[in-house]
């Protein structure tokens, strides 16, 4: 009984903070004020201030978390709406996804090698641009540390969402298709949630890229590691 009321309290708190932060973002619309980031920071600060552990927070948090599965399935809806455009632009989509997938995994390996990072941490960085559940599986498969991979996946998500719009402006990625594929390939589902600010075409491009990266990453992740680690 007490568990249930704690869970409800945590859910209400999370939703309330999220709504407040969304209002703040709509009001000022600076990229750093993106609600996922501000809400996460606010909740971590609250938990630290009241000495609540992450496990205790997850008594309620797991219920919100459990909606992620159906939400990923729900991405089939914008994909279905845009199916004609997806078929028409199948080549740019596949080309963009492959470019993103390989440059992401290889640049992660190379940068980590340059900075002299431990081997198991390097392997945890490889699947960072792939959606969390799949990234965990890839990390486990290639000998990385799954819990570190989760953190790297989040950082890839945040940095893409926050820096993405500026960087795309600099390198002149102007088309909605290019933006969507960039968000989905680099920043998985978090990038896809950002893509909603650009309209349905960008959302579908982002979710199709995210899906393709998950499927292709599972296949090519181990191969890339094998090639660069002989």
> Binders of other proteins: how many residues, by CB under 8 A?
113
**Shortest Cβ 2–other proteins spacing (Å):** 20
The single-letter DSSP state of residue 34 is -
181 interacts with other proteins by CB under 8 A: yes
Nearer to other proteins, 170 or 230 (CB): 170
Q: Cα-flanking dihedrals φ and ψ of residue 111, to 5°?
A: -55, -45
Q: H or E stretch including 177?
A: helix 176-195
Candidate list 6, 20, 33, 85; residue touching other proteins; CB under 8 A: 85
Q: Write down the least CB distance from residue 141 to other proteins, Å.
A: 7
CB 143 within 8 A of CB 169: no
**Could you say whether residue 36 binds other proteins (CB under 8 A)?**
yes
Question: What stretches of 29-145 show up as alpha helix (H) in DSSP?
Answer: 35-49, 54-65, 68-74, 76-81, 83-88, 90-114, 119-125, 132-142
145 binds other proteins (CB under 8 A): no
Helix 132-142 and helix 146-170, axial crossing angle in degrees, nearest 10: 120
CA distance linking residue 186 with residue 156, whole number of Å: 7
Among 8, 151, 223, 227, binds other proteins (CB under 8 A): 151
Shortest separation between residue 230's beta carbon and other proteins, angstroms: 21
Rule CB under 8 A: choose which of 139, 192, 224, 225 binds other proteins.
192
Helix (H) or strand (E) run with residue 116 in it: none
Compare residues 108 and 225 and give the one whose CB is closer to other proteins.
Answer: 108
The residue among 5 and 196 lying less far from other proteins, judged by its C-beta, is 196
SS3 for 189-213 is HHHHHHHHHHCHHHHHHHHHHHHHH
What is the closest distance, in whole angstroms, from the C-beta atom of residue 112 to other proteins in the complex? 5
Q: Could you give the CA distance from residue 34 to residue 119 in angstroms, rounded to a whole number?
A: 33
Binding mask 8-27 for other proteins (x = CB under 8 A): ------xx--x---------
Binding-site member from 141, 143, 146, 228 for other proteins (CB under 8 A): 141
139 touches other proteins (CB under 8 A): no
């Amino acid at each position: 009984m007490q568990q249930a009321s704690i869970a409800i309290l945590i859910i209400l708190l999370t939703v309330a903070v999220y709504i407040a932060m969304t209002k703040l973002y709509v009001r000022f619309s600076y990229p750093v004020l993106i609600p996922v980031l501000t809400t996460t920071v606010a909740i971590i600060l609250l938990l630290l201030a009241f000495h609540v552990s992450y496990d205790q927070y997850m008594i309620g948090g797991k219920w919100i978390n459990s909606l992620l599965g159906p939400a990923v399935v729900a991405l089939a809806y914008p994909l279905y709406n845009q199916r004609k455009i997806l078929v028409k632009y199948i080549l740019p989509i596949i080309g963009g996804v492959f470019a993103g997938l390989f440059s992401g995994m290889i640049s992660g390996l190379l940068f980590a090698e340059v900075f002299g990072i431990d081997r198991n941490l390097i392997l945890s960085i490889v699947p960072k641009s792939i959606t969390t559940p799949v990234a965990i599986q890839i990390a486990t498969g290639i000998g990385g540390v799954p819990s570190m991979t989760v953190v790297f996946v989040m950082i890839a998500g945040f940095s893409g969402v926050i820096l993405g719009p500026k960087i795309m402006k600099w390198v002149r990625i102007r088309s909605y298709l290019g933006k969507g594929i960039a968000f989905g390939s680099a920043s998985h589902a978090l990038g896809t949630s950002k893509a909603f600010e650009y309209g349905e075409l960008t959302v579908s491009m982002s979710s199709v890229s995210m899906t393709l990266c998950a499927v292709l990453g599972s296949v090519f992740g181990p191969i890339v590691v094998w090639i660069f680690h002989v």
